[in-house]
Amino acid sequence: MTTNGGFEPVIRRTPVFCGIVPPHILDHLAQHEDQALSDSALRTLQHDSAARTRRRITAVRTLTAVAAPAAPDAVPHRTIYDAEHGTALPGTEVRAEGSEPGQDATVNRAYAGLGATFELYLKAYERNSIDGNGLPLNASVHYDVNYDNAFWNGDQMVFGDGDGEIFTDFTSSVDVIGHELTHGVTQYTANLEYYGQSGALNESVSDVFGSLIKQYSLGQSAEQADWLIGEGLLAPGVHGVALRSMKAPGTAYDDPRLGKDPQPATMQHYVRTSRDNGGVHINSGIPNHAFYLLATALGGNAWDRAGQIWYDVLTGGELQSDADFADFAKLTVAAAKARYQTGEESEAALKAWAQVGVQAS
Ligand SMILES: [Zn+2]
């Protein structure tokens, strides 16, 4: 919904570090009596906390133009690098755009996941890459040793191999790749502050589009989708199915080593905490569930109407970087009315937010 000819400057900041595995899970693992397990978690936590500090210090403000709709034949520009178990980025180039798959399945999955993300944004929302302007998509795999996370560092994707006992290879879930790259989209658009409710919205938007990227690539309807984030990421033997569930927040895992999924589905169970930037990976369950309720109420493909409404809010220019859940909810109802004239979509959005205890009117 660009109303200014595409040239209104938008303030953009480099985001704080946001890995797919939240600190509450790593904290739990770090306390485990199994030395190897707690060492991997501690190492990941220390790395992530250093990266977080570094990002705050180097935060910059840049001016960027609102993106024009992409040409339908736009193509991605992907490059995959191998960090070879070190932490220097990006590492050695191992696959460039258009080249054939190689022997390393991790490299091929990263390449395919970047492609699936590019595809959804282009085909469903006419967006040309993360910045709307054809940004090259770079990713490094085999980062560090036993590294239990994947993250977008403001410029590129980074994937660990996991410790093998709790987490498998972080390229194994396409929605995780989509989640992290969507942090880039948010960075270039609404730039939601990574703290409290605006931070939980930032996380939720990444889960929403991460799941939509998976659903689009598998051709699944809202009804058929699993609505899980990180399905396939937990190693065999872990009691759980994924990192998060949008369908049933709080039920993704319950494991002696990981703890129990702490996500609430409604405002009634909103978690007040200073950890995890004010619970950004915890309270994101509430807007996640609202999106799930809207998408399943509307039926069909979730990226069509429900996804379009969320995308319009994220990129429309009215969403403030410090928005809370109610601000976001009201904008979804307004966006639904603006794009669809029947009233069905805005009514369904109102109802979905009411079901999670957020006032959208
Ligand atoms: Zn995230």
Give the closest residue to 162 by CA, choosing from 103, 243, 249, 245.
243
Residue 301 CA to ligand 1 center (angstroms) comes to 23
Residue 4 CA to ligand 1 center (angstroms) comes to 30
Residue 201 CA to ligand 1 center (angstroms) comes to 10
223-240 pLDDT per residue, tens = 999 999 999 999 999 999
- Helical (H) or strand (E) element with 95: strand 92-96
| Entry pTM | 0.92
Average pLDDT, the chain: 91
Residue 206 CA to ligand 1 center (angstroms) comes to 6
Q: 162-182 b/e with 16+ CB inside 10 Å = b?
A: bbebbbbbbbbbbbbbbbbbb
Is 281 among the residues known to form the active site? yes
Per the residue annotation, which of 180, 193, 231, 345 is the catalytic one? 180
Mean per-residue pLDDT, 323-329? 98
Q: Which CATH class is domain 196-355?
A: mainly alpha
Per the residue annotation, which of 47, 142, 183, 281 is the catalytic one? 281
Cβ partners under 8 Å of residue 199, min gap 6: 192, 193, 277, 278, 280
Give the closest residue to 13 by CA, choosing from 58, 67, 53.
58
162-204 pLDDT per residue, tens = 999 999 999 999 999 999 999 999 999 999 999 999 999 999 9
Report the distance separating Cα 262 and Cα 201, nearest Å.
Answer: 17
Give the closest residue to 285 by CA, choosing from 309, 250, 329.
250
Is 142 among the residues known to form the active site? no
Task: Give the fold, CATH level 3, of 11-188.
Answer: Elastase; domain 1 (3.10.170)
pLDDT at position 55, please? Answer: 52
- Using a pLDDT cut of 90, give the percent of the chain over it: 78
Mean per-residue pLDDT, 199-218? 98
Report the distance separating Cα 260 and Cα 244, nearest Å.
Answer: 11
Residue 152 CA to ligand 1 center (angstroms) comes to 9
Instruction: List the single range of 69-78, 96-105, 334-343 with lowest mean pLDDT.
Output: 69-78
Residue 234 CA to ligand 1 center (angstroms) comes to 17
Report the distance separating Cα 59 and Cα 312, nearest Å.
Answer: 26
Neighbour-count burial of 153, counting CB atoms closer than 10 A to its CB (0-12 exposed, 13-18 middle, 19+ buried): buried
CATH 1.10.390.10 location in the chain: 196-355
- Using a pLDDT cut of 70, give the percent of the chain over it: 91
Sorting pLDDT into bands at 50, 70 and 90, what band is 47? confident
Residue 344 CA to ligand 1 center (angstroms) comes to 31
CATH 3.10.170.10 location in the chain: 11-188
Residue 183 CA to ligand 1 center (angstroms) comes to 7
Residue 29 CA to ligand 1 center (angstroms) comes to 19
Give the environment of ion ligand 1: residues with CB less than 5 A.
18, 203, 206
Q: Is the separation of the CB atoms in 14 and 59 below 8 Å?
A: yes
pLDDT at position 225, please? Answer: 98
